[in-house]
């Protein structure tokens, strides 16, 4: 978690929320967590990234059809290659079923290796179907050419793409879940020779999400993920691989600890919270 990328404007908003929660005898941790995740992190690209739909006037055109087709593949419980009758490997997965198609995320999953880091990026065009097909091409080609069609040791465990409507305004149009550290040399090869050539014309080059590190000196953004056991020990529950959720938990605990020492003065509370958060982050990644 890159604390250097968190501006004081964010710290100040969280500080004010913590003081108000304390004043009204509300749960400080819950208030800070909700403010950061739902109103800061999840909307950080609003006003910073301008998105152009694939089809003017009809955002997510065809996404519902793709969701339906991918759902059929998932329900078959067969490998992608068996269903698509090609060299594809891995399994299909659909997240967010039961709601509108625009809120569904489409996945490809390749293996069940231990959780590593993750990275994400935001696009200014080509979200949804275009991005989904570009990521498929990049990852499937890498597996065929570098791993001889065996995804069991692929540095990517899986990835997901958001539809155009859901991706607009978020801090992520695509999330890639790794089985390695974001600095792994195999990931560098995958990014530089396969993923980046397929997506570089779509990705916003200026947007920087909160708390992340740059991947391969490109506008792809990694979150270091601590061992699941360490998250369990720190927060009392296992992490779910969510970058925003991890950061929200860190801030929630940091401000809860800090406000026990200072609950009125903004500058002092913010300073104390920064120190508490820094200590928590050190424990998570020690």
Q: What is the rounded CA–CA span in Å between residue 80 and residue 91?
A: 5
Q: Is 112 within 8 Å of 157 (Cβ atoms)?
A: yes
* pLDDT value, residue 132: 97
DSSP 5: G
Mean per-residue pLDDT pooled into runs of 10, the chain (286 residues) = 96 98 96 96 90 90 93 95 96 88 91 95 95 98 97 97 85 95 97 98 95 97 92 87 93 98 95 98 94
Residue 216, Ramachandran bin (φ over 0: left; ψ between -120 and 50: alpha; else beta): left
* pLDDT value, residue 94: 96
For helices 243-259 and 8-23, give the axis angle rounded to 10 degrees: 60
pTM above 0.85, yes or no: yes
* pLDDT value, residue 189: 98
Q: 45-84 pLDDT, tens per residue?
A: 888 999 999 998 888 999 999 999 999 999 999 999 999 9
* pLDDT value, residue 171: 82
* pLDDT value, residue 166: 82
Q: What is the rounded CA–CA span in Å between residue 122 and residue 48?
A: 11
* pLDDT value, residue 103: 86
Q: Is 133 within 8 Å of 196 (Cβ atoms)?
A: no
């Amino acid at each position: 978690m890159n604390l250097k990328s968190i501006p004081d404007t964010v710290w100040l908003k969280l500080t004010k929320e913590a003081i108000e929660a304390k004043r009204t005898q509300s749960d400080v941790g819950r208030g800070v967590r909700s403010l950061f995740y739902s109103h800061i992190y999840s909307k950080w690209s609003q006003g910073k990234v301008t998105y152009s739909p694939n089809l003017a006037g009809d955002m997510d055109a065809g996404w519902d059809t793709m969701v339906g087709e991918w759902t059929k593949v998932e329900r078959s419980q067969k490998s992608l290659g068996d269903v698509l009758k090609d060299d594809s490997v891995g399994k299909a997965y659909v997240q967010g079923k039961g709601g509108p198609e625009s809120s569904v995320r489409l996945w490809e999953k390749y293996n069940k290796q231990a959780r590593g880091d993750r990275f994400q990026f935001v696009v200014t065009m080509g979200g949804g179907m275009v991005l989904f097909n570009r990521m498929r091409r990049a990852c499937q080609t890498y597996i065929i050419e570098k791993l001889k069609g065996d995804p069991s040791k692929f540095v990517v465990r899986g990835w997901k793409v958001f539809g155009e409507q859901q991706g607009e305004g978020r801090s992520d149009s695509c999330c890639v879940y790794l089985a390695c550290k974001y600095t792994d040399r195999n990931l560098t090869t995958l990014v530089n020779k396969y993923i980046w050539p397929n997506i570089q014309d779509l990705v916003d080059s200026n947007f920087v999400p909160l708390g992340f590190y740059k991947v391969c000196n490109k506008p792809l953004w990694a979150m270091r993920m601590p061992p699941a056991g360490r998250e369990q020990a720190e927060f009392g529950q296992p992490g779910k691989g969510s970058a925003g959720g991890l950061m929200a938990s860190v801030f929630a605990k940091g401000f809860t600890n800090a406000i026990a020492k200072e609950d009125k003065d903004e500058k002092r509370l913010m300073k104390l919270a920064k120190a508490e958060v820094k200590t928590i982050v050190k424990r998570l990644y020690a």
